[in-house]
Structure 1
Amino acid sequence: MARRRGVIAQLQRAHAQQVRAAEQAQRAYYRQQQALRRAAEQAAKAAQRASAHDERERKRLYLEARAAEVAADNADLQARLEELDGLLSATLAIDDHIDLERLKEPFRFPPFDPGPHGVPEPPPDWRRFEPAAPTGLGKMFGQSKYQQQLAAAQSQFQLAQSQHAAREADRQRRVAGMYAQYEQARQAKQAELAAQHAEIDRWAAGLRAGSPEDVVEYFGLVLSNSVYPDDFPQNFRIAYVPESRQIVVEYELPALGVVPAVLDHRYVKTRDEVTSKARTAKEIKERYTSVVTQVTLRTLHELFEADRGGLVETVAYNGVVDTTDPRTGQSIRPCLVTVRATREQFEALNLGKVDPAACLQYLSATVSKRPEELAPVRPVLEFDMVDKRFVDEVDVLADLDERPNLLRLTPTEFESLIQNLFTKMGLDTKQTRPSRDGGVDCVAFDERPIFGGKVVIQAKRYRNTVDVSAVRDLFGTVQNEGASKGILVTTSGYGPASYEFASGKPLELLDGSNLLHLLAEHAGIKARIDPNDLD
């Protein structure tokens, strides 16, 4: 019995140990599972944190990108405004004169290079053909065989020499042909450059002589060299009147759209959108007026500065816009600014410090009151009134020399011509009398209401420039006659003093080119003015 109890106790102890082991294993398993769950939870939380971080980073980068886009757009707007504000100053540091000699293309031609054909092929080397001399017993018993080998080698060597000579002759023929082509191309290039240099010399000579065609071409190149923003049209027409040393320019101005309509851009994060604030109509008008006035002064500056030969005493400038009338849909070219400036007036200006609008006012320019609405002004000189001989777009008419020369008319014929012209233009000529200087004076009436009135017309059949005293006399006559306007017409031209005196007064000065245009336009008379045809 006691032994049984011992066995049972032993079994109980073993069972208890098993139970304790199982409990320990179970607890270890639970601890392991808990550790795995904690690790999984930590990993999940870390993943969530990483995902949230990535999302925040993505959003941050997106917001930065949108903000950068808006900042770049605003920077572009600011750069555009600075570009528009600096239209005049941009040209002041540039010498607009063009040295025609520098237009001559220098002669550059590569040296003759025949390539691989220029390297002669080395002649055959006898050592490659020569048989080995016999040695030992061969000297005694192999001479016959050696002699045969030597003869064969010499024969092969001679053949190789002959073939080499043929190839060398062919190579030299090829090189000679290549050189002939090279020399032909070189001479052609020299002839081309010689022709270009001769044309530039001819141009320079014509420019020094004041040839209208060459003067127009030169100043056209000057204006073409002026660098403006890409969306500026930079189209123009130029004419030159040699009698008065006057350049007439019709320059195409940019439209209102060159001024940005947007003041600035802003990014609204909450709506994820870019909004724009409009520039005020007042600021757009002011900035557009600034563009118009700066382009005008810039063009005058470039023309006067480019003239080193004293070709230009006066510039008549009309700034026009080529656009469409929104009311009719028709193409229109309203003139927004017009001015006639003399060299003496312009060279007294310090353009780096002027206010463009005030400067043009000082020069007695007329600027549109509402340029943004394309409200036109009357040009100081209609470009199409310039004689077609002096316009860059029109060739000299073939029958020019067959036209009547106004300088050969008698005083009576000239008087009849002037009377006929202004009658055709709608004026009622009431009184005419010959003047002592070979011209004619007319007192006429413009019967239009409001704009009409008494008009004094004086015509001077001159070969030389009309003196300013004639302009003063006309103004005195206008005042004495109580006339509303005075018109002075000449077959020659006017100096800067005449234009300065007439500025701001009810006087209109028409030179020889204008007279020819008016005769053709209104009287159907195609005439010419040729001082060299008076014999």
Structure 2
Amino acid sequence: MGRRKGFIGLIDAMARDAARQARQAEAEKKRLEREYKRLQKERARSVALSTKEAKQRYLLSRENEVEIMNDTLNDYIDELKKILTHTLSKDDTISFKSLRLSTKYRSFKPPTNLAKSLNPPVLEDYLSKVVAPDFLAKLLPGAEKRYKQSLKAAEAQYKVALNKYEQEESERKRQLAKLEEEYEKSKQEYLIKAEERNQEVDELEALYLAHDKDTVVTYNSMVLERSEYPDGFPQNFRLTYDPESKQLLIEYELPPKEVIPTEQEYKYVKSKDSISDKKRKNNEIAELYQDMIAAVTLRTIHEVFEADQCNSLLLVVFNGYISAVDPATGKDIVRYVVSVRVTKDAFLDLNLEKLDKLVCLRNLGAQVSPRPAELLAVKPIVEFNMVDKRFVEESDILSSLDARPNLMDLNPFEFENLVSNLFGRMGLETKLTRSSKDGGVDAVAFDTRPVIGGKVVIQAKRYKNVVGVSAVRDLYGTMMNEGANKGILVTTSNYGPDAYEFSKDKPIELIDGGGLLYLLEQNGTRARIIFSD
């Protein structure tokens, strides 16, 4: 009975132990399952966090991209607004000294491996490596013979080394001599070039100081070519100069309206993962464009006046034009959108840092397009070809063979009729009024065009000397008395700065000798002007 109870107790213990182990196994299984789920969740959280961080980094990169685009856009707009003030901190004068080449040439510096002689081999260095046998060694058979052989071998090595040294030294000297020869050749070529260049610069400076027409044009072209503008500005121009009146005429290509960005701001649209832009208003584009044109005009005039070293410029005429394509015909067209003539004294009196650019131009009597972006054109104050006087500088034998009449040879009556016929061919109805003692002519003309037409007073001065402001005042007085809409003064010579300054804000047109010859040729009459001594 006791044995049976013991057996049952053993079975019960085994069952309890098995149950315990089963519970432990189940608990471990559940623990492992929980750990697995925990790890899965941890991994999912890690992946989600990594994805979120990557997305945040991407969003940040896109936002940075937009920020850079906006900074670039704003910097460019700021650059456009500072076109005029940008040049005020710079000296536009070109130093003729800076155009010269230095007559000093770099010293000869050979490579390190060729600069110094090689160290020659020394016989003693080779012989010293051979150890002479001592007293005991000499007792050995052949010791003396081996010693002498070693000496001969050392001498042979020395001779080989010496031969190699002599070859290398000879090659070094050859290469060094070649480099010295090339250096001397290069030096002589440079010095000759420098001498020629410096002689050209000296000649250029002398001609410039003498107000040589072509040299003044060259100098001022260099000034304008050095002017720095934003990308997209064509910077094409042509110049002509009249030494008599010291007038420089500049025809300057202005950039198209496309240089004004149509975008006002960039934004990143997160939902679409795209960059959109807010458009700039049309009236803002038009204002920026007109301001930029005024800035280029004033800046160009400032640069040539500031760079004037020898008072070669008393007057500057600036004609700004835009090259475009006519949408109606598809042909290339040129439209003048600003034209101004200003004296040096009047311009240098301006404070370019504080003035309103458009108001300033209008105060200078400029013709400014109210809508340049639409290519609304203005009439140039002076046409480029009218400045080409085509005067005959000297009266010689060959001049008598020229079939063109010399206007200075005409009598007052002939000159009156010439001027009257000229403006008649140009579409005006002219009537001569009187002849003055100095050969001038007063005429009243009528422009029959509606709205813009009216009464025109024309006066001509067959002068050799510069026409001053008094003649312009007389014309203006005549206009007031006649109730004329416009006055035209024609001369065979040229005008002084005071004459242009007086007429800048009045309906007066001044035509000098070159302009008269140009208008005559354009209307079928070729002539010339020769001043006799």
TM-score (norm 2): 0.84
Pick which of 219-228 and 425-434 moved more. 425-434
Aligned to 1:335: 336
Which residue is 1:20 aligned to? 16
Stretch moving more, 128-137 or 287-296: 128-137
SS in 1 for 2:83: coil
Q: How do residues 410-425 of structure 1 correspond to structure 2 at under 5 angstroms?
A: 410-411=410-411, 418=419, 421-425=422-426
Match of 2:348 in 1: 347
CA distance in 1, matches of 2:367, 2:373: 15
Q: How does 1:181-220 map to 2 (within 5 A)?
A: 181-220=182-221
What is the letter of the counterpart of residue 461 of structure 1? R
Deviation per CA, 1:362-411, whole angstroms, max 9, x where unpaired? Answer: 21222212222111111111223221779xxxxxxxx9998668476343
1:517 & 1:420 partners in 2: Cα distance? 15
Identity of aligned residues (%): 42
Change (3 A) 1:6 1:26: same
Given candidates 95, 98, 104, the residue that maps to 2:100 is 104
User: SS state of the match for residue 210, structure 1?
Assistant: coil
Matched AA of 1:68:
N
- Aligned-partner Cα distance in 1 for 2:179–2:274: 68
Alpha-carbon distance, 1:98 to partner: 1.5
Q: Is the 8 A contact 2:420 2:431 kept in 1?
A: no
Picking from 27, 39, 44, the partner of 2:40 is 44
CA distance in 2: counterparts of 1:334 and 1:373, whole angstroms: 10
SS in 1 for 2:21: helix
* Residue 56, structure 1, aligned to residue 52, structure 2: yes
Q: Deviations for 1:24-68, whole angstroms, at most 9, x for unmatched residues?
A: 111111111111011011111112222222222222222222222
**RMSD of aligned residue pairs (Cα, Å):** 3.8
Note the 1:225-264 alignment, pairs <5 A. 225-264=226-265
Change in CA separation of 1:249 and 1:389 when aligned onto 2, cut-off 3 Å: farther
- Using the alignment, how far apart are the partners of 1:170 and 1:72 within structure 2? 60
> 101-110 or 327-336: which moved more?
101-110
- Aligned to 1:359, the other structure's residue is in SS state helix
Q: Which runs of 5+ in 1 are unaligned?
A: 391-398
Cα distance change, pair 38–402 in 1 and its aligned pair in 2 (3 A): farther
TM-score (norm 1): 0.84
The residue aligned with 1:525 is 526
Flag the 1:153–1:472 CA change in 2: closer, same or farther, 3 A.
same
The AA in structure 2 aligned to 1:188 is: E
In the alignment, the residues of structure 2 paired with residue 72 and residue 152 of structure 1 have an alpha-carbon distance, to the nearest angstrom, of: 78
User: What secondary structure is seen at the aligned counterpart in 2 of 1:340?
Assistant: strand
Evaluate the alpha carbon distance shift between residue 516 and residue 134 of structure 1 in structure 2; reply closer, same or farther with a 3 A threshold.
same
Q: How far off is 1:208 after superposition?
A: 0.8
> Alpha-carbon deviation of 1:162?
9.8
The residue aligned with 1:512 is: 513
Contact 1:458 1:474 in 2 (8 A): yes
Displacement of 1:71 after TM fit?
Answer: 2.1
Find the counterpart in structure 2 of residue 475 from structure 1.
Answer: 476
**CA distance in 2 between partners of 1:105 and 1:322 (Å):** 39
Deviation at residue 122 of structure 1 after TM alignment: 4.9
* 1:449 to 1:190, Cα distance in 2 relative to 1, 3 A: same
Of the candidates 2, 5, 9, which is equivalent to residue 6 of structure 1? 2
What is the DSSP-based 3-state SS (H/G/I as helix, E as strand, rest coil) of the residue aligned with 1:96? coil
Paired with 1:176 and 1:349, the residues of 2 have a C-alpha distance of 64
- Trace 1:254-333 onto structure 2 (pairs within 5 A): 254-333=255-334
TM-aligned CA distance change 1:402 to 1:335, over 3 Å: farther
1:42-121 maps to which residues of 2 (within 5 A)?
42-107=38-103, 109-115=105-111, 116-121=113-118
**2:409 counterpart letter in structure 1:** L
For residue 111 of structure 1, give the secondary structure of its aligned residue in structure 2.
coil
Structure 1 residue 480: Cα displacement: 4.0
State the partner residue of 1:396: none
Conserved in 2, the CA contact under 8 Å of 1:233 and 1:253? yes
Contact 2:475 2:489 in 1 (8 A): yes
Is the Cα contact below 8 Å between 1:405 and 1:530 reproduced in 2? no
Which residue in 2 is equivalent to 1:395? Answer: none
CA distance in 2, matches of 1:196, 1:242: 26
Give the stretch that moved more between structures: 368-377 or 406-415. Answer: 406-415
**Other structure's SS at 2:523 match:** helix
Alignment coverage as a number of residue pairs: 517
Q: CA deviation at 1:326?
A: 2.1
Q: Which residue of 2 aligns with 1:409?
A: 409
Distance 1:58 1:68 in 2: 15
Secondary structure of the 1:334 match is strand
Q: 1:23 to 1:90 in 2, by over 3 A?
A: same
CA drift at 1:465: 1.4
Contact kept, 8 Å, 1:406 with 1:491, in 2: the verdict is no
Aligned to 1:9, what secondary structure does the other structure show? helix
Change (3 A) 1:63 1:152: closer
